[in-house]
Amino acid sequence: MRRVVWAASALALTAGGALAGGIERTNQSVGILFEKGRYAELSFGHFAPDVSGTAFGQASGDMAGDWTGVSLAYKQALSDTLDLAIIFDQPIGANVDYPATGTYALRGTTAEVDANAITALLRYKLPSNVSLIGGVRALRTKGVVSIPLSAPLPPITYDMQSSTETDFGYVLGIAWEKPEIAARVALTYNSAITHDFTATETSPLGANRVSGFETEVPQSLNLEFQTGVAADTLLFGSIRWVDWSAFKIAPDDYATVLGGSLVDYKSDVTTYTLGLGRKFNETWSGAVILGYEDPNGDITGNLGPHDGMKSVGLAATYTRDNLKITGGLRYVEIGDATTRIGAEFADNSGWGAGIRIGMSF
């Protein structure tokens, strides 16, 4: 049954939180803590969205760039009751690239957010199959944006590059297991992490003006669950809430020249997943998973024109001795959105693919 669990969890690498709420790219699962003995894994995931819209009668072209994510994780038992896991991933990110050709009002606009995180987790096992989870996360983040506005908008060019900042948060959680039926429930809280950035801005107010702004990478709650429903068959899923209404990027000169925030969100986001895994034989297992995020109906920013999503994914795992290899595919239907300049983005989608290699030793 553990092979079924692994195939199910590995589906996350096929797009992670691809175009989930805010700028999320991974779901911050603690599943690695429940691997047996000493274990290490390496994952690669690639997501290719196709996101386009129209404003003032002009088409934007595909404005969402592809991205590739890498994660590394290691887990070992420190004692009969204490486990340690170290995780490297890229929990947030953005890659905006409006085509420079054509007559769209935001043509040539680009933006990137890059982030890397290292998380150290401990799991302490109590009697009655209950365990406590705690840890520390270090997050290193930077961003850059270039916005050349064109008619019918005011002909203004704005550029900003942030400093690279590293700050810390924490993880707390509790889990319950019933191994006889492969049942497990884990509830974890991820604290907010606040960055104090230095921004170098160029706008009609002047070139390379230096200011500061604060951005809060929001707190979140994860509920992960699974249970065996028949021989070699596993039902699994998750509910993830993220406090995206606390997130904003608002450099001083941008607010003065164009008003408001460069990026912000009016509503929090809850993402649901539900799937079924099956062990076919001693070598192969597989899983299918559905994902859903309810649209909130808010006007979106021009750098993230999507609202809600639906997804379906498939994964297959090959097991030989202490080696496990999983490949997965995910299709994402990206929710329609209206942006602040009145652009309408509809009927967009994306494909994700990934591979994970895990080894017990």
Tens-place pLDDT, residues 28-52: 999 999 999 999 999 999 999 999 9
pLDDT in tens, 18-28: 556 779 999 99
Q: Please give the model's pTM, rounded to 2 decimal places.
A: 0.94
The pLDDT of residue 8 is above 60? no
Three-state SS letters, the chain = CHHHHHHHHHHHHHCCCCCCCCCECCCCCCHHHHCCCCEEEEEEEEEEEECCEEECCEECCCCECCEEEEEEEEEEECCCCEEEEEEEECCECEEEECCCCCCCCCCCCEEEEEEEEEEEEEEEECCCCEEEEEEEEEEEEEEEEEEECCCCCCCCEEEEEECCEEEEEEEEEEEEEEHHHCEEEEEEEECCEEEEEEEEEEECCEEEEEEEEEEEECCEEEEEEEEEEECCEEEEEEEEEECHHHCEECCHHHHHHCCCCCEECCCCEEEEEEEEEEECCCCEEEEEEEEEECCCCCCECCCCCCCCEEEEEEEEEEEECCEEEEEEEEEEEECCEEECCCCEECCEEEEEEEEEEEEEC
Phi, psi of 112 (to 5 degrees): -140, 140
- For the segment 292-303, the average pLDDT, to the nearest whole number, is 95
Q: How confident is the model at residue 5 (pLDDT cuts 50, 70, 90)?
A: low
Mean pLDDT for the stretch of residues 316-332? 96
Q: Which of the listed CATH numbers 3.90.920.20, 2.40.160.60, 3.20.20.70, 3.40.950.10 matches domain 2-360?
A: 2.40.160.60
150-159 as b/e: b if 16+ CB within 10 A = beeeeeeebb
Q: What pLDDT does 6 receive?
A: 54
The string of pLDDT tens digits covering residues 198-229 is 999 999 999 999 999 999 999 999 999 999 99
Alpha-carbon distance of 273 to 251, in angstroms, equals 35
